[in-house]
Structure 1
Amino acid sequence: MTIAFDRALLERRTEDAVFAVDGLRRKGSFPSRDSLSTLISQLAYKQTPLSLSQADRLIQDLVASRREDLLDQNSLSLLALAYAGVGMANFSRSTLRLMFQTGLYPSVRVWTAVMVEEPDPVARIIKLMDFAMMPKGNEELLVSMRPDVTSFNSALRICATLADTQNAEEIFHSMSLFGVLPNSDSFELLIKVYGKARRFDLFRKVPQRMEAACVRPSASTLKALVDAYVESGNIEEAEKVLQKTVQGKSSLWNLVKLEGDVYNSLLKAYALEARLSDAANLLSSVPLEDAGTGLDQARVVASMIASGMLKEICSILQYMLQHRMEVSFSAYKSLMHGFCANNQLDKAASFIILMKRAGIKPDCSIYGPLIQGLVRCRDRLLAYHTFLEMVEARIVPDEATYVSLLKALTVEERASKMVRVLEAVMEFPSVKISLFSWNLVIEYCSKKKLIGDAQRMLARMAPAGVQPDSYSYWYVVKGLITRSRLTDVLGLWPQIQFASRRDRPNRIILHKQLVETLMYAFVKGANFAQALELLEYAKEEDIPLDREAFKDLFLKYHSHRFTSKHKSPLRVYGRQQQLLEMEEFKKWLSLGAVKTPARYAKYVIHLCFFNLLFAWLLISLLDFEQDSEIWTIQTR
């Protein structure tokens, strides 16, 4: 049974291992301490109701048999965390209590995590601290499990959630009993406790307590203080603290590096009370651009939007626009991104109109989010017309904007509009159109049989500073073949040859699809000289070609080519070179050594049949003429 248990444990077959332990238990024995530790850890790791109940039953059996010596700290710590993770607070507490009673003290990380998951942890943490002060067991373990500032802050965070000022004060004062010094997070949480409890008389004293404790506040501490003032209705006090910090007139807060979210609650309060002038003045006091402090108007706007205050910041900026108050352009960009991220595209379009009325010219950073938002909402035609409005206003588009629009128009299969977008971008020499965009337009023009537009786009690539690649030519060649314009393919071949020459520094490598498509056009159009040149290129680049497919194509279109016997010397001379080229190509096809394909077998049979019938008729006619002559002689 022990061997079966060890094998199941090694192969992580936990259910079989539990069954093996049950068998050992019935015989009055248990596995080794290490094996039991591994089993309990595996059951805790699975974190299912069945596995946790099996672990609890196993521990209960060990306690009932007075075999607590087989338990260890690691497995019980994992089990306590697993209980807390699924909300089984009673089991988690009992496991910790067992660890205290057996001298297997959990580390502060374990019981702090358990405490946070409990439904009523505020009273429990004080009880656990009392356990931690019990002078028994290994002193090193006792030190490792005593609470630190993180565990105290976890308890204070719960007090802040519950607005429990009494327990918060008890926890804060008990820190000195363990020799733990509060940090800025501790005071921040204390401010939140008092703020939620509306204890204005208490949280206004926190800065003095911080100064007495020589704790340097952080930006989040300042935000907590401002939020507490706002929540208690003391907006003026909040603004005074903020202005003193900005102006460096506060001995405590002058070293705090402000962040954009410090202004959130105050600006929201002004907006909700319709005090837009106060909100606008406060936002105007923020630097237009970052001067190395990490704070500017754009960060404040972005922070408010991230906090769900899009409506409030929009009303503030509209007020500032209407009253010609100075606002950074980056703040408007942040607002447009907020509108588009929240799919409020009509408000974004309206705000652009307000900007124009105020004499502020939008750029692509304003139009771009709107166009991309329209594309995301599948309003592709409106995105197209908005783009045209932007370029007509001589606003330079960026790559992200026009590429997203081109991709959207491929869904609508609007190839002509894609051409119009690309031509509009080409009006700005400073914008270099990517190869991807060229190929996207050429591909869909060829697909929609707008082959003239595809050829024109291909011809404009080189003057625009973009070299066509193998796919550029492939899309055009496919479009020409679908329109049966094999002569145009022949005219495009010298350009492709020149672009793929080995002596060119930026030569292109023709991929297999292009080579096969060109070969199809050349064979079908009886351009065997070009087909031989293409064969030579394919051989040099080691590109395999389907010989049988081109053999069938040749037999389909050219099996009787040059077979008629013309007696005109001029015509024979004109066809002689083509005949030589065709014969050379037929050698590559190996037509002389290959049997007639099955698809042509019936035609061969029919031809043989008609030849035999014709021979029989001819012999019969000759016999009839001979018999007639004999009969005439006999008659005479």
Structure 2
Amino acid sequence: MNILRPPPTSSSSFPPCPNSNTLTAAASFTPTHNPISLCSINPPFTAAGHPTRRHFFARSASGTANSSAGDLSSFLGSSPEAYSTHNDQELLSLLRNRRTDEAWAKYVQSTHLPGPTCLSRLVSQLSYQSKPESLTRAQSILTRLRNERQLHRLDANCLGLLAMAAAKSGQTLYAVSVIKSMLRSGYLPHVKAWTAAVASLSAAGDDGPEESIKLFTAITRRVKRFGDQSLVAQSRPDTAAFNAVLNACANIGDTEKYSKLFGEMSEWDCEPDVLTYNVMIKLCARVGRKELIVFVVERIIEKGVKVCMTTMHSLVAAYVGFGDLRTAERIVQAMRERRRDLCKVLRECNGEDLKEKEEEEEAEAEDEDAFEDDEESVYTPRDEVIEEGSEDVFKKLLPNSVNPSDEPPLLPKAFAPDSRIYTTLMKGYMKNGRVADTARMLEAMRRQDDKNSHPDEVTYTTVVSAFVKAGLMDRARQVLAEMARMGVPANRITYNVLLKGYCKQLQIDKAEDLLREMAEDAGIEPDVVSYNIIIDGCILIDDSAGALSFFNEMRTRGIAPTKISYTTLMKAFAMSGQPKLANRVFDEMMRDPRVKVDLIAWNMLVEGYCRLGLIEDAKRVVSRMKENGFHPNVATYGSLANGVSLARKPGEALLLWKEIKERCVVEKREESSPPMLKPDEGLLDMLADICVRAAFFKKALEIIACMEENGIPPNKTKFKKIYVEMHSRMFTSKHASQARVERRVERKRAAEAFKFWLGLPNSYYGSEWKLGPRED
């Protein structure tokens, strides 16, 4: 049975199954919460929506509902079981006739829990509708069944459809949770269901791509255990599944994993398609191998894979990402001229790049010869910084790059640029600050004969972004008005770009007016991104009350906060000196099952206490952070250093430096030990400043040595000024006792060494300022 199609009806057939190639999530939707009280959150779905809680106990539902019942009047005095049977018959009849909304109303009104067949059909049809309201209803059924310990009533078909619907609605954690629950319950979900979860994870932030690869590996490993593969034919990975996980590898630049999975495609009888190679173009761009992109295109042609317009989009986007607008322009021009020798054009661009690189190296060599007394150069050309092992990987993936053909192959047909191609090039102009070129491109697109090249809402939004980036808000609003005149409706992204522009210019009043105009005049409801932008704008004008007001308004509208929403509100309270309120927001975030707390949120909490010098509270937060599996990073230590300075507790700086120094040591580290740390200038300078002011010169010299080892030039002028103002009269008393003199011998040696480093008159005549063993 195909588990990705609602159960067949007796009267009519359902529409075809959703396209499995649609790997990206649809419009974002999350269930609503109550307005924030900074006390508690009541999630709309329970542990079934969280990947770390208890799983479903799903079992396949078979058979049909109980035997048909008579007239309703005959059941008025009957047992609850008979009444329930009659309800099941009515509910099943509604579902068979695809009257899903009426079936839902019948389910809500019923005081008895329907049978397995009715429940599975109802969840299936609600999930299949692909509407936010329907998805919420399906999730509520799972919540009820879990609370009543009746999850075994649902079959694999409805769970697979629910996972797909959640993934396409942007509820990645919920979708993955359903798939993992099915695996734990002994079910193998349909390939389209688990592919949707893998694809959604691959495009997610944080550790989403890594989790995507793990999920793919877990499912395929389970499928391999079956000796008779015909039993799991519907769960075997197909090309779309491999494309989803390969996209995850490309997003994190993992060439080894990409090569391994690419090689496994043949084991599963899967052939790479054009999307597979488009993802390979992304991988080349991600790891900085621009010169290999042409060989990906040639490989597509050699393998006889049908080239499509998406490949052209990937090419232009890759070169725009490299900042190589010259090559991107030449690709677009070749397309305008209907040329098929695009590979030849790309090879010529590679040759020009190589020539320019050789000229740069020659210039560098001449500069090095001009300074013979300089230290040995450590210059490494940017294009030569290649990931270890990636060279061999690409030899396997692109054997044609080792011995390229003398004559580049021709495209099977010419492709004319469309609006997406032009828009991608415009984004390159925008990123480089070429506002005039962006506007000229818009005007040129309007004059194109081909309607496919006319500007659309994405094109206009790109122009709006260019003007916003340049601070030309009036011009940006003019483009918005022009969109209305040209009959191109602005979308939510267009308004969000304008909102961000007003907030950056601290024009929060205009941002608020635009938010109302967006909802009332344009009929576009603001989303969580819109509110995140305006909450961040409130922070820029130090309006924490306004930030909280918009946060609550967002919740009232039924828009669920994201991780950015919580951390932005925490930032508002931390910046305004209200760390306790930031802590309460953090606790809300910890309780929200849809949000994954990360190191940024922990650091924001630490920052709130450190800004007021509440170092003990900050240390308690750091302890909680470590207990939850997070290790402090440079930002964490930087906040602690600032807090120590404000609290005037130099002794805490010594403890902080000890921990940092241990994490800077390059040794064979155990798996349980925290990762290595590379301190930055701000952190080390702050610690050295504290130590110099507290006359901890030995530690100050250690920190300065660490700065020089990491290529950070210490601010010697600043430290000299501090020493002269605070310590120039140290150790000048002639009446100190002998015991006191002996106790401060080491401190005096450190002070003299520090003066030697500063270049001040001193009694330390060693050739190196670094402290060594004391000589009698």
Fold in common (TM above 0.5): no
**When the two structures are superposed, what TM-score results if normalisation uses the length of structure 1?**
0.39
Larger RCO, structure (CA 8 Å, separation 6 or more): 2
Higher share in helix = 1
